[in-house]
Amino acid sequence: MAVKQKAGEDFSNEKIELVLSLLEKGETKKECCNILGIKYNTTRLGKIIDAYMEKEALQEKIKKSLRNKPLEKQDIIYICQEYLNGEALVAISDNTYRSTTVVKNVLKRYNIPLRNASNNYFNPIYIDEDESNDYVKGDLVYSARYNCLAEVITLVTPGIYRICILGKNQKYANQYSHDLADLRNVQKDLGITGIWEKDTRQRAWRAVVDAQKRKKEKNKWRSIMHLLN
């Protein structure tokens, strides 16, 4: 049973994993309560940890059942779009019940660079692909220097494009083509054209969950029919 989180409390996976690690090392439960932002209450601390362990066990069970099953198209769209929206690999892995390796492989297949905290404008992600110089207005790209999704506006001069950085901090910039990852396949194959708003992201997540439920029900009926035959 999930424990309701109050204002100022932090039950994120990172914080609870830290608490579990510290408890193993002999840290006091009072200090662990402080880390989670809760009042000193060993019973509530225990319930928070139990709920986390149950969730982890359930996720691992579902991941195991999906291990050899192919991804649905809506899963692939969700993985790519959420990552381009700035979501973390671990969060996407949890939401789709797939391993981070599966998530990374999908991103690699669609030429989406993996973010790294050490990268910035002056130390950009390395774009491991042949340089493209045939972009046109509206083409989707990933800007290595801005570390985010962008849209091509126009060719400024051979090898340099005017792009629009998409997202909350939308802005325009001129970038060398070798600093742009080609995401036109993401547009063509997956229909992704930009950043999703919150309500669209929620609908996409619901589509993934509903598809998993339909698949589960289908397999259930197959098992029943097999027993009847």
pLDDT in tens, 52-89: 888 888 777 777 767 678 888 989 999 999 999 989 99
Whole-number pLDDT of residue 125: 87
pLDDT digits (tens, 9 = 90+) for 104-159: 999 999 999 999 888 889 999 888 777 788 999 999 999 999 999 999 999 999 99
Is 60 exceeded by the pLDDT of residue 6?
yes
Whole-number pLDDT of residue 228: 45
Measured between alpha carbons, how far is 63 from 72 in angstroms, rounded to an integer?
Answer: 15
pLDDT digits (tens, 9 = 90+) for 175-205: 999 999 999 999 999 999 887 554 444 455 4
Q: Residue 115 class from Cβ within 10 Å (0-12 exposed, 13-18 middle, 19+ buried)?
A: middle
pTM over 0.75: no
Residue 133: Cβ within 10 Å count: 13
DSSP state, residue 111:
T
- List the strands of the sheet with 160-165, edge to edge: 171-176, 160-165, 148-157, 140-143, 180-182
Given a contact cutoff of 8 angstroms between Cβ atoms, the answer to whether 160 and 174 are in contact is: yes
What are the tokens at 99? 């391993």
What are the tokens at 47? 């319930």
Measured between alpha carbons, how far is 178 from 84 in angstroms, rounded to an integer?
Answer: 19
Contacts of 152 (CB under 8 A, 6+ apart): 135, 136, 137, 138, 139, 140, 141, 161, 162, 163, 180
- Domains present along the chain, CATH in parentheses: 13-66 (no CATH), 73-109+197-228 (no CATH), 113-193 (2.30.30)
Amino acid at 183: L
Smallest Cα–Cα separation from 74: which of 63, 66, 82? 82
